[in-house]
Structure 1
Amino acid sequence: MDAYQYVKDKQIVIFELDDVLFPEKDYLLQVYYLFAQFIEYTEQKSAQPIIEFMRAAYESNGTEKLFEKTADQFAIDMKYKHNFDLLHQNARLPLKLLLYKNMLEFMQELVVDRKQIFIVTASNPEQQLNKVKQTEWNGLEQYLTVYFVEELGLTKAEIFQNILNSNNLSPNQALVVGANKFDEQQSKLINLPYIVSLEIYR
C-alpha cells in the first residue's frame, strides 16, 4: 500500500527523530570522527585507528561505555570524557544529516496536502536540537513544530495529548510514526494510531 494511504484521513503526523527521519548513526559517527581528530590534535595520537575502533565498537555494542572502551584501548585520559560528552551536544558536523529518501518524499506529500507535522523527540534536548539544526530539511523546516520531551518534563503520551488538545483533534485524526516499542506504548496510552517508520518504505 502507498505510504500516504496511512494518513489520508489524518490532520497531523507526529515523528521521532532518530532512526525515523534519519539514521542516528549518521550523527554519532561524525561525533566520533570529530573526537578522534580532537585527540590527535591534543595528544598526538593518530586519529584513524581511534575512528575505526569507535565505529566497530558502536556497530557491535552501541553507545554503551564507548568512551571508556576507547580510553582504555588508546590510553586516553578520562578528563576527555567531558569533551566527548560536549561534542554530542554541540558538534559542528562535517556533513549535514540527510533524511531517509522515502521519508523526505512522505513529508513533502504531507505539506502539499496541508497536514501538520510535529516532531516529539526524547534524549538530551541540546543534542536533539543540534541534530535538528544540522539536518538538510529541503525546505520542510518551516512546516515543523518540535517538542523536546526532557525539556518539557512530560511523558511522550502527555505531549501527544497536548498536541491533540491544542488542535481540537481526536486521536483518530492523528498518526505517530516511531521506531521502537516505547513510542508505540506511549501512543497506545491515548489510543493514537501508530506505525513503525519502516512501514513507510514499503
Structure 2
Amino acid sequence: MDVNQYVKDKQIVIFELDDVLFPEKDYLLQVYYLFAQFIEYTEQKNAQPILGFMRAEYENNGVEKLFEKTAKQFGIDLKYEYNFNLLHQNARLPLKLLLYKDMLEFMQELVVGRKQIVIVTAGDPEQQLNKIKQTEWNGLEQYLTVYFVDELGQSKAEIFQNILNNNNLSVNQALVVGANKFDEQQAKSINLQYIGSIEIYK
C-alpha cells in the first residue's frame, strides 16, 4: 500500500463507515448473538440454533426481513421485533469493532501527514453512532469529524460539497473512500476523486 499516491496533494479524506473502516457484519453478528441470548432468557428457547439460523440467513440473503424469517422459523412472538430493532441502535457489544488493519495504517498515515479525516455515513444515525462509540480507534477518535447523512437530510454529494466549502477546499484537495457504486456516483457527481476501500488493502 503506497498511501502517498492517493493523498500527496489532498488536504482531506472522506470515508464511509460500514465495509470501509470495518466489516459491517462484525457489528450485525454481535447484535444477532445478543438477540438470540435475549430470546433464550425471556422465552427459554435455545439461543444457539437461533443464532445459527440468523447468521446463515444473513450471509446468504442479507438483512431483508431477517426478523420475520427468524420469528417464523422458531415461533418467536412478533412483539420482539421492537427489541430486535432496538438492539441495532444501542447494543453493548461483547467485542469492540476493529478497523481493517490496512485502513488503520492508512488513517494513521493521514494523521502524521496532517490530513483531515471525515466520516460521512448513511443509515440510522443512532445505530451508526453506536458503532463509532464501540470501535477501537487506537487514538484516532480525536482526529475524526462525523456527518450522519440521514440526520442532515441531504445527499452525500451535497454534504461533500458543504465540507469543501466549509474548509475552503477545491475538489482537487479531497479524496472519498467508499465501498459501493452509490458512494462512487455521489463523489464523481461533484468531480471528487474516489477510490474503493479495496484499493487500500492491495
Q: With the length of structure 2 as denominator, give the TM-score of the two structures.
A: 0.99
Shift of 1:4: 3.1
Identity %, equivalent residues: 85
Q: Which residue matches 1:37?
A: 37
Q: Output the amino acid matched with 1:67.
A: F
The answer (yes or no) to whether the contact 1:178–1:184 under 8 Å persists in 2 is: yes
Q: Which residue matches 1:69?
A: 69
The answer (yes or no) to whether the contact 1:172–1:192 under 8 Å persists in 2 is: yes
Q: Output the amino acid matched with 1:12.
A: I
Render the CA deviation track for 1:145-193: whole Å, top value 9, x for unaligned.
0000000111100100000001100001000000001100100111000
The answer (yes or no) to whether the contact 1:179–1:197 under 8 Å persists in 2 is: yes
SS at match of 1:2: coil
SS at match of 1:158: helix
- Equivalences for residues 17-166 of structure 1 within 5 A: 17-166=17-166
Q: With the length of structure 1 as denominator, give the TM-score of the two structures.
A: 0.99
Q: CA RMSD in A?
A: 0.6
Q: Output the amino acid matched with 1:99.
A: L
Q: How many residues in Structure 1 have an aligned counterpart in Structure 2?
A: 202
Render the CA deviation track for 1:6-45: whole Å, top value 9, x for unaligned.
1111000000000000000000000000000000000000
The runs of 5 or more residues in structure 2 that have no matched partner are none
The answer (yes or no) to whether the contact 1:149–1:155 under 8 Å persists in 2 is: yes
The answer (yes or no) to whether the contact 2:164–2:171 under 8 Å persists in 1 is: yes
The answer (yes or no) to whether the contact 2:18–2:24 under 8 Å persists in 1 is: yes
Q: Output the amino acid matched with 2:131.
A: K
The answer (yes or no) to whether the contact 1:12–1:173 under 8 Å persists in 2 is: yes
SS at match of 2:120: strand
The runs of 5 or more residues in structure 1 that have no matched partner are none
The answer (yes or no) to whether the contact 2:3–2:109 under 8 Å persists in 1 is: no
